Amino acid sequence: MKSKNEWRQDGEYVALVSDLLEQPAVQKLANYTQHHHSNRLQHSIAVSYDSYRLAKRLNLDYQATARAGLLHDLFYYDWRTTKFDLGTHAFIHPRVALRNAEKITSLSNKEKDIILKHMFGATVAVPRYWESLIVSLVDDYEAEQEFFGPVRARLRKRRERVKATRIS
Ligand SMILES: [Fe+2]
Ligand SMILES: [Fe+2]
């Protein structure tokens, strides 16, 4: 996503996920830090929206991608402080997210697979659908952006300041 709020301008996307976004269970994700510089709701929307656009471009099931992408991290603990090791967290949280998601909407088999397999690479569960693979790849990409994006921006600014002082 080019900006945090880009998805709001996309009426078709908003119509697909608005019933989920209204749910307190989804809004609650804003209370959890995800990758140091983002909260879990921002992260979930970014994964959902970018996956949706990719799925649309590839003529895949973008509806399922948008909805399950939004719910892929529907869990409520801080993964950095909970006592799980990283491997356990990677295995557990997709299952917790699926259970929570089923409480607020009905899910197709594809949507369930998208949520369950989004840690493909860290866990051995192989995605059964292209849409699941897309969400898992976009999830990795967003995590990297959310973690390093602000650091990169700070470095860029610092470099510009150094350059400016050299010139003057
Ligand atoms: Fe996750
Ligand atoms: Fe995620």
Ligand nearest to the CA of 41: 2
Q: CA 159, 160, 165, 168 torsion: positive or negative? A: positive
User: Of the ligands numbered here, which is closest to the C-alpha atom of 119?
Assistant: 1
CATH ID of 6-167, from 3.40.50.300, 2.40.30.10, 3.40.190.10, 1.10.3210.10 = 1.10.3210.10
Q: What's the pLDDT score for residue 124?
A: 82
Kindly report the average pLDDT of the chain as a whole number: 91
Which among 62, 89, 87, 61 is positioned nearest to 75, based on CA atoms? 89
- What distances in angstroms separate CA 39 from CA 28, 29, 33, 93, 146, one per listed residue? 10, 7, 4, 16, 9
Distance between Cα 96 and ligand 2 center (Å): 13
Span 82-104, average pLDDT: 89
- The 10s digit of each residue's pLDDT in 157-167 is 888 887 887 76
Ion ligand 1 — residues with CB under 5 Å?
A: 73
Nearest to 50 by CA among 31, 70, 34: 70
Report how far ligand 1's centroid is from the alpha carbon of 139 (Å): 7
Closest by Cα among 79, 107, 113 to 93: 79
pLDDT digits (tens, 9 = 90+) for 68-79: 999 999 999 887
Phi, psi values for residue 107, rounded to 5°: -120, 140
Q: Which two tokens stand for residue 142?
A: 């967003």
Task: Take residue 34 and report the two structure tokens written for it.
Answer: 């995800």
Structural contact between residues 117 and 125, judged by C-beta atoms closer than 8 angstroms: yes
Across-strand partners of 39?
Answer: 33
Residue 117, classed as helix, strand or coil, is coil
pTM: 0.88
**What value does the mean pLDDT take over residues 130-157?**
88
How far is ligand 2, taken at its centre, from the CA of residue 105, in Å?
19
Cα(94) to ligand 1 centroid in Å equals: 6
What's the whole-number mean pLDDT along residues 107-130?
Answer: 94
13-51 tens-digit pLDDT: 999 999 999 999 999 999 998 877 789 999 999 999 999
